Chains A and B, each alone.
Chain A
Amino acid sequence: MSAPSTGKPAPRLPLERPRKLYTLANPRKSLSLTIVTGLFALYCIVPMLWLVINATKSQQDFVSSFGLGFGGHFALWDNVAQVFTFQDGIFSRWLLNTVLYVVIGAVVSTFLAALGGYALAKHDFVGRRAFLLIVLGSISVPGIALAIPQFLLFAQLGITNTPWAVLIPSFINPFGLYLMWVFSDQAVPTGLIEAARIDGAGELRIFLRIAFPLLAPATVTVLLFSFVSIWNNYFLPLIMLKDPAWYPLTIGINQWNKLGSTAGNGELIQNLVITGSLLMIIPLIVAFLSLQRYWQSGLSMGAIKD
């Protein structure tokens, strides 16, 4: 890893006066910093180029052409059309399921994490330390070992093989809770809360109207993480769902992939697996881009002075 160390610009020499603010409105761009960061970006992007390039290949070209080169003919649109028509167009259904799971799951889990994280940071109550330890301890238990007990519990309640079996666990985002707690602690000035209380605002109103807006960058981060992790959630739906009509995309695409490696009447459709995967990340990119503007600092309003 050579990139990171140069992330901090070298100290300025004293003769360079007057000093400028690089972090504010009109920073001077640095070419060398861009290049070094670019190297890391290259590491991130080259494997993804593979994905994009190979989504343009037919199955036949896929097994016979070089991985980072194009195939005999450009089959991207064929592949996309096939993805949406294969197995009576079940891909669309999986896509809709995934959107359902992701939107509900991410919104609910982020809100619960914000509510809980804020309470942990700004409210005092008995057993807070124990609570933190229990949450940390629980998520340290490998999920694989919990899958069967979770299944049996959900089966008792009769919700296996229904969307609830995927949704309910996705409402819990312990990492989001921790992030929200850390960020609440930093970004929500206690003075502001105190002032609101003096003005007679209720606690929920303080959270919704004052704290929550201040937590925007953290909320966006947690929302994105929830979004992605639910989008890519594999193991739990695999255990919980047996009806393809409720599968999320990950299960469906994995199943397609396995079709080609099961002795018997499997069909080798790597081209569809790859194109399907590419299609899968497009909504994530869209989500990411549309959340861009919330990256602004929550405290820049300068509303508080103590």
Chain B
Amino acid sequence: MIGPSDSPRLAAAYMQPGSVSFTDFLAAQAPDLLPGRGVLPAGDAAGLAPHATTIVAATFDGGVVMAGDRRATMGHIIAQRDIEKVFPADEYSAVGIAGTAGLAVEMVRLFQTELEHYEKIEGTTLSMDGKANRLAALIRNNLGMAMQGLSVVPLFAGFDLESEKGRIFSYDVTGGRYEETAFHAVGSGSLFARGSLKKLYRDDLGEGGCVGAVIQALYDAADDDSATGGPDLTRRIFPVVQVVTADGGRRLSDELVAEVADRVVAARMRRPDGPVAELL
């Protein structure tokens, strides 16, 4: 049961000093609420639920940009056209999800609560590495599900208040945590997105330049990967773009992203493969 329902008084566990982790508290008090806790019958469950696809992130001087396309697929079917896969994790970080959508969204909710819980109890925020490690632990708990095809692979990015720069972390299904330099992409279209960013990303790009680069990368991912959605010009559905700087995180308005996407599409009308990179 949730909360102190059997006795009107707050249960002893609520009053116990020590733990600052909400996940640990949840595991002790209501383990059934942990994502990926149930035991599945043997076999592959990958086709069971919608999958979320491509997330890209890129750093610039003073922050980081994360963007995700809006498509969720179930096998060959498009399950949803306007799913949101990039979320603020806390004031100074963002998390994007690829993999089984249901589990991933629940994991993000737990991660957000975990960060906020620590902040409220301790009166200070976790370090950037601390946050990245907590997320790794959550992913590791899902290993059993991942082995049956229900994997969750997030991308985590944020502004490190100590070193004063944007940082990106990628993960594998076993909870392995890898810090990336400059840019990274995860999900089914990530190969194409990363290839695109390799040619487009430059160290001197500012916030606006990085937003342009990640939208170009998502276009390239959608171009070659059937599970990644491109800009939907008829329904006006465009990627979710989250920017995190020293002033905190903010989601770019739909109008602003639409404007960039319209420019990208207009340029692709002239050259469908995108901007030309120099040979030497």
Whether A and B are associated in the same complex: the answer reads no
Q: Interface residues, chain A, CB within 8 Å of chain B?
A: none
